[in-house]
Structures are given as structure tokens and as C-alpha cells.
Structure 1
Amino acid sequence: MPPAKKRARAYDPAKTRAAVLAQLGNVREAVRGLGPEQLALPTRLGAWTVRDLIAHIGMAATAVHRALDRPAPPKQDVTVAEWPFATAASASAIDEFTRGLAADHPDVGAFLADVEASLRTLLAGHLGGRLLETNAGALPLDDYLVTRTVELVVHTDDLNAAVPGLQVPHDRQALAAATRLLADALAVKAPGGSTEVRVPPYAVVQCVEGPRHTRGTPPNVVETDPLTWIRLATGRVGWAEAVEEAMVSASGERADLGGLLPLMS
């Protein structure tokens, strides 16, 4: 008998909406006091400055606006766990759009405030089941908002890395949703049940083809914290570096995930 198909993870729509708005608000509050020298600092994202990065955070939120402006697709044709694999193809267009936003909005704090206010209004007027045309395919609005938690959490971390002492907080629900989505994406990329990946307290997934574990301690286990997992999944840190610096524990012959990461970059 073939193994039962795994049920897709369910996200609480109200919590997801609140998480997106909370994390956007965290960033907006933190960046409004940045001066010209801080906005001109480099980031770990190629040639982007902090100003460019903040503009991109606004862009990630207004992707919801742009998607709602387009006609609804006839049916859903992709799962939210497949979204991470579609991001790299849009890198060039994203870079160009981001630079344009940064040039057009010199007051990035005011820009994010406008984005947050308009997003609140927009979400209040649309049901979560409304299908959106996205870069990955057709997704319901509620699912697409889960992808926004990834964008916001990842780029909040980029912002903290770029500006000494900034320490923008991560909303707990946003961090949880981002962690779970990227863990589920790993299970999509490497289906199987031989390796257990643990990201406490938010996610546990089975992945990697091989002998399936059914009870007791799994023979192949990977464990790390949420931010390290997100950095691994998005290419902010490499697998070998994370293992060497004890940011990840990996035991068992099928616990090396280096060939599967990053999931998005």
C-alpha cells in the first residue's frame, strides 16, 4: 500500500493577517529614526543599501495590492509550500522595481506608514479565499499572506544585520509562519521520511528519501533554531558554516542537508 499523502499544513488566517501587519509595523517603527548615513549603509544583499532594503520591504507588502488589482485566476494551481522555488526567477525584475521605489520615496518611514495603512484597509475589504495571480502561480489571499511573513521576517533579519544596534523585533506569529512554510518547502523538495528536521518550537518535518522512521528516536535528525533555519533556507548562511559553528546539530548518515539548501535565494 502506498504511503498516505501528507495533509497540507493549515494556517490560522486571522493570526497570519495580524502577523503580517505586526511585523510591518515593527519595521516601520524602527526605521523612522534612521539618518542618511544609516540609510546609505551596505547590506548583505549585493549592491542594495539599507534604503533599498527598506523600499523592498514595502514592495513585499504592496505585492498584495498589485495582485488584488489583477483579475482572479480561475483556479488554484500551486500550493503555498511551492512558493519559495519561484522567487529566484524574478530576481532581476525585483531589483529594478526596488531601486525605483527607493528613488521615488526618499522618506522611507513615511512610505512604510502609507503601505501599512493601505494594507490594513485592503485586507479588511477582501475575503481570504480570493484567488491571486502570483509569481509562483494562483494562490488564495490567505495563503499568499503566509508568504509575506517569510519576506518580512527574512528582510527584518537583513536589516538588523546591516544596521548595528537596530534590533527590530520579530513578531512571534510571523516568525512561526515563516519557519513552518520554509520547513514544508524542504519536505516538498526532498520528499521522504528518513530524516526528521526539527525547528523548535515551531516546526517538525519528515523529509529525504530512504528508510522510513516510524517510532522511537529517528536515526537521522537535524535540529536548529528558527532564525538559523530561515538563514539556511534563504542562503544567508551556508550549511557547512552552520554545522561547524554549532548553529545546527545533525546526526545520521542522511542528515546532511547541504545539497538541498538554500531553498530560495
Structure 2
Amino acid sequence: MPPAKKRTRTYDPVKTRIAVLAQLAGVRDAVRTLTPEQLALPTRLEGWNVRELVAHIGMAVTAVGRALDLPEPVRQDASLLDWPFATSADAAAIDEFTRQLAQDHPDLDACLAEAQQDLTRQLDTYPGTRLLATHRGALPLADYLVTRAVELVVHTDDLNAAVPGLDVPYDRQALAAATRLLADALAVKAPGASTEVRIPPYAVVQCVEGPRHTRGTPPNVVETDPLTWIRLATGRTAWREALADARVSASGDRADLTELLPLMA
């Protein structure tokens, strides 16, 4: 008997909306407190300071509006799990857009406030089924909003890393969505069922070719916390570094994910 086909994960659009707006609000609250000296601090994103990072966060949110301004695609031709693997293709254009945005918007709080208001209006106006033309293909608005949750969580972490003591909180639902999408992307990149990757309390996936585990304790297990997983999946933390710092536990011959990470960068 062939193995059962894995069910595609779905996301509650109402919860996703609340999570995205809550995470954006948390970033706005923090940005209001930043001094000129803090805005000039370097970040772990090469060539960007904090001002440019904040501008990029705004750009990630306004991407919804830019997509809505385009003609609606005739049909959906991409899936949510295509998105993580396509982000690097536009890196140069994103870098240029971000730098220009930071230059053109000296008042970052006003920029984020406008983005927040526009996004709220757009989500009130358009149904989640409305198709958007994205860099990977046509996706429903509800799915694309999940990618905005990932962007916000990842860059909130970048912001916290750049500014000591800032500690922007992570919305629980946004963190869950980011963790799950990137865990499912690993299962797409390395299909199989020999290794179980656990990211409590949000996700468990099976991946990597090899003998299929059916009962009892899996022979190959990886376990880590959500933020460490997100940092691994996006290249903020190296696999061996996380192992050395005991932020990841890995047991079994197929539990080394070095060659599979990062998933997006």
C-alpha cells in the first residue's frame, strides 16, 4: 500500500489577519522609541542599518497593496509552499527598493502607520479568495497574508538582534504561522519520513528519504524552539552553531540538516 498523502496545512484567515496586524503594531510601538543613534546601528542583514530594516518591514506590509493594484490573475498557479523558495530571486530589487524607501520616509512611524491603515482597509475590502500576482505566481490573498506573518516575525527578530534591550514581543499566532510554514517547507525540500523534526508547541513534520518510521520513538529526531528554527530556516543561525549552543538536539544518522538549511535567505 502506498504511503498516505500528506494533507496540506491550512491557516485560519481571521487569525492570520489578527496576527499580522498585532505583530505590525508591536513593531510600530518599538520604532517610536528608537533614537537616531539606534536607527543608525548595523543589523545582521548585510549593508542594512536599523532604519533600512524598519523601512523593509513597511515594504513587506505594503506589498499586499502593490499586488492588489495589479490586474487579478485568471487562475491560481502557485501554492503557499512555493513562496519560501522564491524569495532570494528578487534580492537585488528588494535591496534597492528598501534603501530608497528609507531615504524617502524619514518619519518611520508615520510610514508604518500608513501601511497599517492601508492593510486594514484592504483586508476589509477584498475577500481572502482574491488572487494576487506575486513573484512566485498567483496566490489567494489569505495565503499571501501568511507570508506577511513570516516576514514580520523574521524581521522583528532581526530588529531585536540589532537593538540591545528592544525586545519587541512576538505575537503567538504570527510566530506559529512562521514556524509551521517553514517546517512544511523543509518537508517539501526533503520529502520522506525517516526524520521527525519537532518544534514545540507549533509544528512536527516528517522529512528526509530513508526507512519510514511507523511506531514508537523515531530513529532520527530533531527538536528545537520556534525562534531557533526560524533563524535556521532563514540563515540567521548556522546548524552547527545551534547544535554547539544546545539550541538544537539531533539524534540519528539522518538528523543532520546541514545540507538542507537555510530554506530561504
Post-superposition offset of 1:114: 1.0
Match of 1:69?
A: 69
CA contact (8 A) 1:82 1:188 kept: no
| Aligned mates of 2:183, 2:82 — CA distance in 1 | 11
| Aligned mates of 1:189, 1:47 — CA distance in 2 | 29
Match of 1:256?
A: 256
Q: What does the per-residue CA deviation read over 1:55-87, in whole Å, with 9 as the maximum and x for residues that have no partner?
A: 000000001001111111121122111210000
Match of 2:88?
A: 88
| Aligned mates of 1:82, 1:196 — CA distance in 2 | 22
Percent identity reads 75
Output the amino acid matched with 1:227: L
Q: What does the per-residue CA deviation read over 1:15-66, in whole Å, with 9 as the maximum and x for residues that have no partner?
A: 0011010000000111012111111110000110100000000000001001
| Aligned mates of 1:30, 1:23 — CA distance in 2 | 11
SS of residue matched to 1:196: strand
TM-score normalised by length of structure 2: 0.99
Match of 1:127?
A: 127
SS of residue matched to 2:135: coil
| Aligned mates of 1:46, 1:56 — CA distance in 2 | 13
Match of 2:229?
A: 229
| Aligned mates of 2:23, 2:105 — CA distance in 1 | 20
Post-superposition offset of 1:138: 1.0
Aligned length: 265
Output the amino acid matched with 1:16: T
4+ runs deviating over 3 angstroms: none
SS of residue matched to 1:197: strand
| Aligned mates of 2:215, 2:233 — CA distance in 1 | 28
Output the amino acid matched with 1:39: L
Post-superposition offset of 1:2: 2.5
Output the amino acid matched with 1:34: L
SS of residue matched to 1:90: helix
| Aligned mates of 2:66, 2:235 — CA distance in 1 | 27
SS of residue matched to 2:14: helix
SS of residue matched to 1:263: coil
Residues 25-174 of structure 1 mapped to structure 2, 5 A cutoff: 25-174=25-174
SS of residue matched to 1:259: helix
Output the amino acid matched with 1:167: D
Output the amino acid matched with 1:219: P
| Aligned mates of 2:93, 2:5 — CA distance in 1 | 36
| Aligned mates of 2:238, 2:217 — CA distance in 1 | 27
1:247 aligns with 2:247: yes
Q: What does the per-residue CA deviation read over 1:122-173, in whole Å, with 9 as the maximum and x for residues that have no partner?
A: 1100100111111111111000000011100000000000011100000000
Match of 2:192?
A: 192
Post-superposition offset of 1:4: 2.3
Which runs of 5 or more structure 1 residues have no equivalent in the other structure? none
Which runs of 5 or more structure 2 residues have no equivalent in the other structure? none
| Aligned mates of 2:3, 2:262 — CA distance in 1 | 27
Question: Higher mean Cα deviation, 52-61 or 74-83?
Answer: 74-83
| Aligned mates of 1:78, 1:241 — CA distance in 2 | 34
